[in-house]
């Protein structure tokens, strides 16, 4: 996965980021919440980059799933033949390849879920920090009055 570019538009509050993966570019955006007075182009671009990474991983998973489905169809077709021996070295090799492809799909799915969870945590942590800073500022302003 290669980071290409990110940008923040101060007028619209939209951050966008682009990553390249498997020869294809993936671009996603993050929008500034209307009530958020503390705009951070760094946070917005980071959120947009995370979304672009998730999109790229979903693309990779779709490709891997297609390969796994083709292997599964092939194995099922061979199992229908009367002379097929499940215990032959060739059949074992075939099952091993099928299992590798299924594992790859599952590993990519785990990576996607981890990225989604990390993005959700980052968004919540930013919210907590911004609210804490806002409270501290309000308390300081009230103590000066």
Q: CB–CB of 28/48 below 8 Å? A: yes
Nearest Cα neighbor of 19 from 4, 35, 38 is 4
Domain ranges within the chain, ordered by starting residue: 2-144
Indicate the pTM of the whole model: 0.86
Measured CA to CA in angstroms, residue 47 lies from 4, 106, 115, 116, 145 at distances of 15, 24, 11, 10, 38
Q: Tokens 């995370």 belong to which residue?
A: 50
Please tell me the predicted confidence (pLDDT) of residue 37: 66
| pLDDT of 24 strictly over 80 | yes
Percent of the chain with pLDDT over 70: 97
pLDDT category at 145 given cuts 50, 70, 90 is: low
In whole angstroms, give the CA distance from residue 89 to residue 83: 14
DSSP symbol at 88: S
Please tell me the predicted confidence (pLDDT) of residue 135: 84
In whole angstroms, give the CA distance from residue 50 to residue 111: 12
| Arithmetic mean of pLDDT, 19-47 | 88
| pLDDT of 39 strictly over 80 | no
| Arithmetic mean of pLDDT, 23-48 | 86
| Arithmetic mean of pLDDT, 72-95 | 95
Please tell me the predicted confidence (pLDDT) of residue 106: 98
């Amino acid at each position: 996965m290669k980071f290409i570019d990110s940008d923040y538009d101060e007028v619209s509050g939209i951050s966008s980021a682009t990553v390249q993966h498997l020869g294809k570019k993936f671009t996603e955006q993050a929008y500034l919440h209307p009530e958020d007075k503390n705009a951070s182009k760094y946070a917005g671009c980071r959120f947009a980059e995370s979304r672009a990474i998730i999109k790229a991983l979903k693309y990779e998973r779709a490709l891997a799933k297609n390969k796994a489905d083709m292997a599964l169809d092939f194995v099922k077709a061979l199992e229908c033949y009367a002379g097929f021996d499940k215990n032959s070295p060739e059949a074992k090799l075939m099952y091993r390849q099928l299992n590798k492809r299924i594992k790859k799909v599952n590993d990519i799915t785990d990576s996607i879920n981890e990225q989604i969870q990390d993005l959700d945590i980052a968004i919540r942590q930013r919210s907590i920090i911004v609210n804490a800073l806002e409270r501290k500022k309000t308390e300081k302003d009230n103590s000066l009055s």
